[in-house]
């Protein structure tokens, strides 16, 4: 049986780049939060008694916090009255023109507003390539991570961007005593936040598109996404 995609990927315009981390049992995304647990509900062997000879299925359970792997924050994550995952428009998450900022050689942890000057950002996804994803899954990932400063978040809100994504531990400085100015400003404006991206080094500064869509879950603020970019 051929289970491969019948479409010829090389014939399509624009190569796809996967920007998501793999989720597996025991994965530590954010230190201190529970790791996913994956268990069988119905094994292939057990399923054989339920189906015709030669037919079998695997049904599995996953228990995980929404902040697992590469995930999207909706306004509900920060604000009780904000839109939850079920209330997000696909128009703000699919095929967003991407502006990529390659900042992996920056000497500062905080990404400031001046980084974004002289770029047309209205209606676009702003993706922050810090290179911190190389530490994902390691103890060093949790300390000294790059982040977006409050003034930079305010600047992006004023420029009416649709998404801000980062390949780091958090869009905010988690070592600031609990202050979350970037989350607060961006989510209040209805701008989605995508954290723990990877492979941003493969994207050009401009010209690609960015997609990151979570499932439609009511009363839920954040969930893993299969984030990807299409190159020009």
Indicate the number of domains in the chain: 1
163 belongs to a structural domain: yes
Helices (H) and strands (E) in the chain, counts: 3, 13
58 belongs to a structural domain: no
Rounded distance between C-alpha atoms, residue 14 and residue 71, angstroms: 24
How, if at all, do strands 16-18 and 228-230 pair? antiparallel
Rounded distance between C-alpha atoms, residue 87 and residue 193, angstroms: 15
DSSP code of residue 182: H
pLDDT in tens, 38-47: 999 999 999 9
pLDDT at 9 over 80: no
217, two tokens: 């879950």
Q: Which helix (H) or strand (E) is 135 found in, with range?
A: none
**Residue 164, strand partner residues:** 126, 193
110 belongs to a structural domain: yes
164 belongs to a structural domain: yes
41 belongs to a structural domain: no
Q: Can you tell me whether residue 47 is helix, strand or coil? A: helix
Q: Indicate whether this model's pTM tops 0.85.
A: yes
Rounded distance between C-alpha atoms, residue 224 and residue 62, angstroms: 13
Rounded distance between C-alpha atoms, residue 193 and residue 183, angstroms: 8
Rounded distance between C-alpha atoms, residue 52 and residue 55, angstroms: 6
Q: Report residue 130: phi and psi, to 5°.
A: -105, -15
Q: Are 204 and 90 in contact (CB under 8 A)?
A: no
Q: What is the extent of the structural domain holding 139?
A: 71-230
9 belongs to a structural domain: no
pLDDT at 6 over 60: no
Rounded distance between C-alpha atoms, residue 83 and residue 22, angstroms: 27
The whole-number average pLDDT for the span 88-116 is 97
Rounded distance between C-alpha atoms, residue 21 and residue 227, angstroms: 9
3 belongs to a structural domain: no
| Residue 46 C-alpha from the chain's centroid | 36
Which of 11, 227, 17, 10 lies closest to 125, judged by CA? Answer: 227
33, two tokens: 């939060």
Q: What is the pLDDT of residue 13?
A: 56
Distance between first and last Cα of the chain: 34
Q: Any idea what the CATH number is for the domain that residue 164 is in?
A: 3.50.30.50
Which of 17, 19, 24 lies closest to 137, judged by CA? Answer: 24
Model confidence band, residue 21 (pLDDT cutoffs 50, 70, 90): very high
pLDDT in tens, 61-80: 999 999 999 999 999 999 99
43 belongs to a structural domain: no
């Amino acid at each position: 049986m051929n289970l491969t995609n019948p479409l010829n990927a090389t014939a399509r315009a624009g190569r796809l780049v996967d920007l998501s981390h793999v989720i597996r049992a025991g994965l530590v995304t954010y230190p201190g939060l529970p790791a996913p647990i994956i268990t069988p509900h119905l094994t292939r062997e057990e399923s054989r008694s339920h189906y015709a000879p030669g037919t079998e299925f695997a049904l599995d359970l996953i228990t995980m916090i929404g902040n697992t792997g590469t995930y999207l924050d909706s306004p509900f994550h920060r604000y009780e009255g904000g839109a939850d995952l079920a209330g997000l428009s696909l128009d703000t998450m699919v095929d967003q023109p991407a502006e990529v900022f390659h900042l992996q050689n920056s000497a500062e942890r905080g990404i400031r507003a001046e980084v974004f000057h002289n770029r047309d950002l209205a209606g676009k996804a702003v993706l922050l390539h810090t290179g911190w994803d190389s530490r994902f899954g390691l103890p060093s990932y949790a300390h000294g991570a790059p982040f977006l400063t409050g003034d930079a978040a305010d600047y992006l809100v004023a420029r009416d961007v649709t998404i801000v994504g980062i390949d780091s531990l958090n869009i905010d400085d988690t070592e600031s005593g609990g202050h979350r100015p970037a989350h607060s400003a961006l989510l209040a404006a209805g701008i989605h936040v995508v954290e723990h991206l990877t492979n941003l080094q493969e994207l050009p500064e401009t010209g690609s598109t960015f997609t990151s869509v979570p499932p439609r879950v009511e009363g839920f603020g954040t969930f893993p996404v299969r984030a990807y970019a299409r190159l020009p």
